[in-house]
Amino acid sequence: MKKTTLFLITIILSSCGQSQQKVSPTATLLSNVHIVDVVDGEVIRNQHIIIDSAKIQAILAEVPNADQYQNVVNGKNGYVIPGLAEMHAHIPQPNTPRERLEEVLFLYLSNGITTIRGMLGHETHLTLREDVANGKVLGPRIFTSSPSLNGNSVTSKEEAINKVTAYKKAGFDFLKIHPGIQREVFDQVVTTANEVGIPFAGHVPVDVGIRHALKSNYASIDHIDGFLEGLVPESKNVDPTTNGFFGYAFTPLANTANINELVSLSKKHKVWIVPTQSLFERWFAPITADELLKQPEMKYMPKATLANWKQTKERYMGDNSFSVEQWQQFDSIRKQLLAALNKNGHGILLGSDAPQLFNVPGFSIHHEIDGMLGSGMTPKDILKSGTLNPAIFFDKEDTFGQVKEGLVADLVLLKANPLEDLKALKTIQAVILKGQVITKTEIEERLEKIAENALR
């Protein structure tokens, strides 16, 4: 009897101690939210998230001493997702004014993007990566490629060895492969990359071809590059250099029965795919530059950039080889490839190639998502492509990619449920970057300033 009484007293005292435990003055309470589980595609309702020291400290159904929190964000029954990743981004080059560089980073953040993979690196991006990581610059987490490895920048095996080794030593996260590299030089890039331990990603040079590229174990192939060319039967005896814009010229020759072979190779060799479908539905597509220029997000881009985009698009679309009917077939094949790669390949990563033509940083992911939906991908799969999959890709599942205790507090508070309608990703109420809350009002005020600067 005495032991039972003592046990009960211990429990009571312990409970009292917990209820009286002091709340850290730096902690933030994100209350009254529904959490989107990107792993299972379910919603965990009526939760409260405690954030401190840039991390998610606890997720609770009830919060003891809720009135003691100095920093409280009432989620008002909104939906919380992990911060998104833009896996084919471009960071401004060093001649860009600092103010504009920081504006571009904020454009990503304003759309809930808390991680970017820069696809055309420069040594200054290494410093920027650290400045962002240390909080000196407000921006999404940065992974950066090396400078371009292409047919002009790397022309021999010796040059391949020297550059790959140097880029690894400099601290770039991966190598960027561009068109034009000859196969024997490419193979040396791969050999040296494997020896020094740096992944490679990007385009598939014509002389390499999609099958050899997949067997070489790219970290990711972007734009679904090389796949359409790979659908052309050898019996057609085509000149591979006449493939046109990402294989467009070979569209009538493509045999979609060959899709499964390529998809199987991508899975076997664990090659991720970044579709950048929006690139082919905006830049190289039967929609006019003037129509695109009317879209609201264009106000955030400098006038000179918009003029350049218009000129470039009209030059491409003015090519006599372009026809709407062939583009429709081209687009259909790309979507078949995307659907198959999502269903049976290694995995899809969200990436729109911003700021490429008419792809405004941050805003362009919504166009990319539309293209992914058009291929048959589900909201759950698309959310995973921009959250969990990038974390797996970077081997950072213990850092970001989910709303989970112990992970970095990179979160987005939405007004609606994105699993029901991905347009909910536009209903941002707050972006939380490493525990720092950026409210909807702050986002709108900063965007207004960026739009004003773009008019200069």
| CA 416 to chain CA centroid, nearest Å | 21
Q: Which helix (H) or strand (E) holds 332?
A: helix 324-344
pLDDT for residue 277? 97
**Is 11 inside a domain boundary?**
no
What are 80-91's pLDDT values in tens digits?
Answer: 999 999 999 999
Domain boundary (365, 385, 400) is at 400
**Is 7 inside a domain boundary?**
no
**Is 270 inside a domain boundary?**
yes
Domain boundary (373, 400, 427) is at 400
> Which string of DSSP letters, residue by residue, matches 181-242?
--HHHHHHHHHHHHHHT--EEE---TTT-HHHHHHTT-SEEETTTTHHHHTS-GGG---GGG
The Cα–Cα gap between 275 and 309 comes to: 21
Question: Do 298 and 243 belong to one domain?
Answer: yes
Question: Do 308 and 436 belong to one domain?
Answer: no
pLDDT for residue 324? 94
Question: Do 188 and 262 belong to one domain?
Answer: yes
Is the pLDDT score of 18 beyond 70? Answer: no
**Which of 7-21, 169-183, 270-284, 375-389 bottoms out in mean pLDDT, i.e. has the lowest?**
7-21
**Is 226 inside a domain boundary?**
yes
Six token digits for residue 18: 């917990």
What pairs with residue 153 in β-bridges? none
Is the pLDDT score of 5 beyond 50? Answer: no
pLDDT for residue 22? 86
The CATH number covering residue 126 comes to 3.20.20.140
Domain of 201, in residue numbers:
85-400
Percent of the chain with pLDDT over 70: 95
Average pLDDT of every residue of the chain: 94
What value does the CA radius of gyration of the chain take, rounded to a whole number of Å?
Answer: 24
What pTM was estimated for this model as a whole?
0.94
Question: Do 59 and 103 belong to one domain?
Answer: no
Six token digits for residue 364: 């362009």
**Is 267 inside a domain boundary?**
yes
Question: Do 68 and 202 belong to one domain?
Answer: no
Question: Do 255 and 349 belong to one domain?
Answer: yes
The Cα–Cα gap between 231 and 243 comes to: 12
Is the pLDDT score of 389 beyond 80? Answer: yes
Cα Dmax for the chain? 94
**Is 19 inside a domain boundary?**
no
Question: Do 100 and 135 belong to one domain?
Answer: yes
The CATH number covering residue 437 comes to 2.30.40.10
What are 330-348's pLDDT values in tens digits?
Answer: 999 999 999 999 999 999 9
The region, left, alpha or beta by phi > 0 then psi within -120 to 50, assigned to residue 276 is left
Give how many domains the chain has, as a whole number. 2
Question: Do 444 and 388 belong to one domain?
Answer: no
Distance set, CA 374 to CA 252, 293, 427 (Å): 22, 23, 21
**Is 12 inside a domain boundary?**
no
Question: Do 374 and 414 belong to one domain?
Answer: no
Question: Do 252 and 379 belong to one domain?
Answer: yes
What are 267-288's pLDDT values in tens digits?
Answer: 999 999 999 999 999 999 999 9
Question: Do 64 and 104 belong to one domain?
Answer: no
Question: Do 245 and 303 belong to one domain?
Answer: yes
**Is 5 inside a domain boundary?**
no
